Chain A
Amino acid sequence: MKTHALIAAFEHPGALLDAAVRVREAGYTHYDCHSPFPIHGMDDAMGLKRSPVGFIAGGMAALGATIGFSLQTWVTTSAYPLVISGKPMFSWQAYIIITFALFVLFGAFGAVFGMFGLNRLPRLHHPIFHSELLAKASDDGFLISIEASDARFNEEETRAFLASIGGTHIELVRGE
């Protein structure tokens, strides 16, 4: 079985945050911090850039609004022009509500599916699931995993490093 990662537990969110900084400063790049909830300040500690999901949601929302408005315009002026209550064919005021509804709908699709896409989910299997420790993160565990694919990864040294920054229950995760 291939070595996938080393994973270690830390005492509390504060300790995890400090450890994340130390891991980053040690030059590791293929690592992640697992916690039962997002931790305030962790993105900065890990040096992560802001998520692009906002742009995806914004772009999709704009697309939804465009589709909504154009569909209504096309239907009422060209595909099926009917005079209703003497209103003009192009009565844009009446289109605003459906335009808005599709703006929100597409924006929400963008946010949700964009987020899952960026997270590479759904992905039901992942080598990290071979870890005994990982399930602790769904309860009260604060963990750091450093993957073997990292250029600086060395089983002995990385294990010693994780212990030196306060990691306990250090576990070697094997599997693919």
Chain B
Amino acid sequence: MSSVNTTTVKTATAVLEEAPLVQGGLTFNGITEKVSGIVEKPTPPLWWLLFGVALSGTLVLGGAIGWLFYEGTGIWGLNNPVGWGWAIVNFVFWVGIGHAGTLISAILFLLRQKWRTAINRFAEAMTIVAVICAGIFPAIHVGRIWIVYYMFPLPNQMSMWPNFRSPLLWDVFAVGTYFTVSFLFWYVGLVPDLATFRDRATSKIKKVVFGALALGWRWGNRQWKNYELAYLMLAGLATPLVLSVHSVVSTDFATSLVPGWHTTIFPPYFVAGAIFSGFGMVLTLAIIARRVFHLENLITLDHFEKMNKIILVTGSMVGYSYIMEFFMAWYSGNIYEVFAFINRGFGNYAWAYWIMFTCNVITPQLFWFRKIRRSIPIMFMLSIFVNIGMWFERFVITVTSLSRDFLPSSWDYYSPTIWDIMTFVGSFGLFFTLFLLFLRFLPLIAMSEIKGAMPEADPHHYGHAHDEVHQGGAA
């Protein structure tokens, strides 16, 4: 009897033991070679092709914005009552995308999820690029671009100050802080890897550029000591920040009285949606990068499975919010609120609502199946669906509520113009331009962090008992 028990226990342990994060027997040196090799090899033709396409997109964005500055916001499809159109939709969409990067770099760091090390660097880069894309939209939406600095509390000759009670101003601070902190976090993480590039540099230019960017990093533990604590502090600061940013974005809507916007569920619902959409984008990019750069040993199926579980969880939270909004509308007994939601599901924008619902609530549920969580073609498709669904979520929220507000006499249907479309498509161009530059010139995997997460990095691996390490060795 006892022998049977022992066997059961042993099997159970075997099942719970996780596969190593880094596979294929890569050593520390193997990781350096792999990641640095991507940048040191001559530029692949595929990169030039993609970069050309992306750069054309950026030019489209530049053209659309140039015409907007010349002509004014009248070139967009905005009307009365729909004063917020694609620009706001795109703003919320891009800010949301960014959230996955911060979740991976900060929250998973605090939770000691070592698997984050394979994906955190390019997820953080994605965050920064996405927030740049996001920041463009509210800035160009102001109409009179030449006085855009009114958004900032700058002393001026008119003694005018911004309205600190407005959520739109909160957004300026929240998104500005978010960008700055994300950038610092990313850069601090990059410093040791830049120093690796500096030490490997073969040409004078590379030596100078990477040398300057690495700030003279010397790998000493007297430096690591401060570095580790600073990194922890940044993670601790970025965690509440990332939860607050999309909450603040949601107050742009929630503090107004428009039916369908004026609800207290918005902040958590927006945050869950942001993380959901961000993971969709991280997954899309990670699958492509893994394939193109042959990173199968560093970004494994286990990494993808974990991300898919997060997509499943946050997707279900988003689905719960959609349904709860309907319930609350009915339960409130407010006729405008009830109408707003019936209109969302069955009115003139029902097509958008059901695209959103299918992509965000129904298809991610397929991730309950382990086979699907580990199937790259299926997860790739589902991640694209998440991106589409989450864009439509912001469209549905913004446009359905505005186009059918309190007075039927002011109702109108909103459709985008070619300029709206060009600006949106162009923002993808900018996103991929900057992201491709990152992939080409910087280490897309955090070498020092992934090495530090390997079992070989831990002194315990070499037979040190735990308290021995902490009492300063076998004294």
Those of A102-125 within 8 Å (CB) of chain B = 102, 104-105, 107-112, 114-116, 118-119, 121-125
Contact A108 B462 (CB under 8 A): no
Contacting residue for A33 out of B28, B163, B221, B463, CB 8 A: B221
Contact B215 A116 (CB under 8 A): yes
Task: Give the complex CA separation of A114 and B460 in angstroms.
Answer: 31
Contact A139 B28 (CB under 8 A): yes
* B240 neighbours in A (Cβ, 8 Å): 100, 104
Contact B459 A13 (CB under 8 A): yes
* A115 neighbours in B (Cβ, 8 Å): 188, 226-227, 229-230
> Chain B: which residue is nearest A117 at the CB level?
B226
Contact B218 A128 (CB under 8 A): yes
> Chain B: which residue is nearest A135 at the CB level?
B199
* A107 neighbours in B (Cβ, 8 Å): 233, 237
Task: Give the complex CA separation of A71 and B463 in angstroms.
Answer: 57
Stretch at the interface among B85-93, B136-144, B153-161, B373-381: B153-161
Contact B221 A84 (CB under 8 A): no
Task: Give the complex CA separation of A14 and B474 in angstroms.
Answer: 11
Contact B473 A17 (CB under 8 A): yes
Contact B216 A17 (CB under 8 A): no
* A12 neighbours in B (Cβ, 8 Å): 456, 462
Contacting residue for B153 out of A14, A18, A53, A71, CB 8 A: A71
Contacting residue for B28 out of A15, A36, A114, A116, CB 8 A: A36
B291 on the A face (CB < 8 A): no
Contact B226 A46 (CB under 8 A): no
Stretch at the interface among A37-45, A156-164, A168-176: A37-45
Those of B228-259 within 8 Å (CB) of chain A = 228-230, 233-234, 237-238, 240-241, 244, 248, 251
> Chain B: which residue is nearest A111 at the CB level?
B233
> Distance in Å from the Cβ of A83 to the closest Cβ of chain B?
10
Given A36-B28, A124-B212, is A41 in contact with B219 using a C-beta cutoff of 8 Å? Answer: no
Task: Give the complex CA separation of A110 and B451 in angstroms.
Answer: 27
A87 on the B face (CB < 8 A): yes
Given A35-B224, A48-B225, A140-B29, is A17 in contact with B459 using a C-beta cutoff of 8 Å? Answer: yes
Contact A138 B226 (CB under 8 A): no
* B244 neighbours in A (Cβ, 8 Å): 97, 100-101
How many A-B pairs fall under 8 Å by CB? Answer: 241
Stretch at the interface among B9-17, B62-70, B168-176: B168-176
> Distance in Å from the Cβ of B205 to the closest Cβ of chain A?
15
> Distance in Å from the Cβ of A174 to the closest Cβ of chain B?
17
Contact B462 A139 (CB under 8 A): no
Q: Is the interface of B mostly helix, strand, loop or mixed?
A: helix
Contact A87 B229 (CB under 8 A): no
B111 on the A face (CB < 8 A): no
Contact A37 B449 (CB under 8 A): yes
A50 on the B face (CB < 8 A): yes
Contact B472 A36 (CB under 8 A): no
Contact B451 A37 (CB under 8 A): yes
Task: Give the complex CA separation of A93 and B471 in angstroms.
Answer: 49
* B77 neighbours in A (Cβ, 8 Å): none
Contacting residue for B196 out of A14, A46, A138, CB 8 A: A138
Given A14-B462, A14-B463, A39-B459, is A72 in contact with B475 using a C-beta cutoff of 8 Å? Answer: no
* B464 neighbours in A (Cβ, 8 Å): 14, 17, 41
B165 on the A face (CB < 8 A): yes
* A110 neighbours in B (Cβ, 8 Å): 233
Contact A98 B169 (CB under 8 A): yes
Task: Give the complex CA separation of A82 and B164 in angstroms.
Answer: 11
* A53 neighbours in B (Cβ, 8 Å): 226, 229-230, 233
Can you add 20 more A-B contacts, CB < 8 Å, to A97-B244, A119-B222? A13-B457, A13-B462, A14-B463, A20-B221, A21-B475, A32-B221, A36-B219, A36-B447, A38-B225, A51-B228, A76-B164, A97-B174, A98-B164, A104-B240, A105-B177, A105-B181, A108-B181, A114-B226, A119-B227, A134-B199
Q: Which residues of B contact A (CB under 8 A)?
A: 27-29, 32, 153, 159-161, 163-166, 169-170, 173-174, 176-177, 180-181, 184-185, 187-188, 192, 195-196, 198-200, 211-212, 215-230, 233-234, 237-238, 240-241, 244, 248, 251, 447-449, 451-452, 456-464, 469-475
Give 18 pairs: A residue, B residue, CB < 8 Å, sorted on A. A35-B224, A38-B221, A41-B469, A42-B221, A43-B221, A45-B473, A50-B229, A97-B251, A101-B173, A104-B238, A111-B233, A121-B215, A121-B223, A124-B215, A125-B216, A134-B219, A138-B199, A139-B196
